[in-house]
Amino acid sequence: MVDLSIVIVSWNVRDLLRRCLHSILDTQHSVRVEVIVVDNASTDSSSDMVPAEFPAVHVITNQENRGFPVANNQGLAVAQGRHVLLLNPDTEVMDAEVGLATMVAFADAHPNVGMVGPQLLNPDGSVQSSRRRFPTLATAAFESTWLEPYASRRLLARYYLLDRPDDVVQDVDWVTGAAMMARREAIEQVGPLDEGFFMYSEELDWCKRFREAGWRVVYLPTARIVHHVGKSSEQVVTARHIHFQTSKVRYFRKHHGRIAGEALRWFLLGNYVWQLGLEGAKWLVGHKRPLRIQRVAAYWQVLRSGLHARQVE
């Protein structure tokens, strides 16, 4: 039996994907590993590169970008491992033989652990924030908006778990989706990723469901992975705004009710109205006009979207 299936969803990051696969496959493993790449309609020859250079990798090629949860679920459906690691293509597994084996061994030694998140590192070696408490409405209002600098230090410190050391194994509410290993038994109980999300917040929702089903979610800093951060999503800035905020709304609607979701949606739209006005004013006074035009267009598209999340069943 395969010990660990690694599912990598890729979109137009061929060179980073190549580095990611080399970091996994250029070593002998003490655990039995399989790698599955799901290509979301890349136009950079990624789907040709993988079978040509990594023939042992199972490739699934989509004809359209189906989003992160759908593509990961495609990988989950064919994965044979006792554990499944969802891994971003803009990552590199450090000392893969030890790191992957460490994650599997920890899960095997703790049968009540449903999800394991390794320590993520920035390319310069510094620790990247990857563990969280569940967000509150106040967190959602400030986190990753223009208001974030005005949030109380305690609010965001609590959310980002800055009150705990980052080099200690610990139970957390959720881990970010760049690298998260789930137990097969837990997946079968909880179900796959919610395909109502396109990207963002799907890992938050999944961990929430794991926790509610009684499974532990553990941050494991003895396994380390370098994450180059957002190399796919930075290609489509406006879409990133829309997906990020609509996913926030969907999460709160799903787990806190329709009123909470709608309150958050209108608050976020108000933020974009303010930003649109601010950028327009800067354009009028002649400050970096090409940048202002770009931002006005982006924020206008966000407002036109209405941040309508898909209905929660």
- Assigned architecture for domain 4-134+161-231: Alpha-Beta Complex (3.90)
- The conformational region for residue 216 under phi > 0 = left, psi -120 to 50 = alpha, else beta, is beta
User: CA-to-CA distance for 73 and 71, rounded, in angstroms?
Assistant: 5
User: Which pLDDT score, from 0 to 100, does residue 311 have?
Assistant: 64
Give a three-class secondary structure readout of 124-179: CCCEECCEECCCCHHHHHHCCCCCHHHCCHHHHHHHCCCCCCCCCCEECCEECCCE
Q: Which residue has the higher pLDDT, 252 or 302?
A: 252
**DSSP letter string, 54-67:** -TTSEEEEESS---
Output the pLDDT for position 150.
85
Q: Which pLDDT score is estimated for 34?
A: 97
pLDDT exceeds 50 at position 268: yes
The residue with tokens 């986190």 is 143
Give the strand pairing for 91-93 and 127-128. Answer: unpaired
Q: What are the pLDDT digits (tens) for 182-223?
A: 999 999 999 999 999 998 999 999 999 999 999 999 999 999
The answer to whether the CB of 260 falls within 8 A of the CB of 140 is: no
The whole-number pLDDT of residue 233 equals 45
Mean pLDDT of 256-260: 96
Q: Where are the domains of the chain?
A: 4-134+161-231, 234-305
Which span out of 106-120, 281-295, 299-313 was modeled with the highest average pLDDT? 106-120
Q: Residue ranges of the alpha helices (H) in the chain?
A: 14-25, 46-53, 68-78, 96-109, 137-142, 153-159, 184-190, 202-212, 237-256, 258-284, 289-305
d(CA 114, CA 106): 11
The per-residue pLDDT for range 113-157, each reduced to its tens digit, is 999 999 999 999 999 999 999 999 999 998 888 888 888 889 999
Average pLDDT score, the chain: 92
Q: In sequence order, which residues have a C-beta less than 8 Å from that of residue 218 and are 6 or more positions away?
A: 106, 110, 113, 115, 116, 117, 169, 170, 171, 172
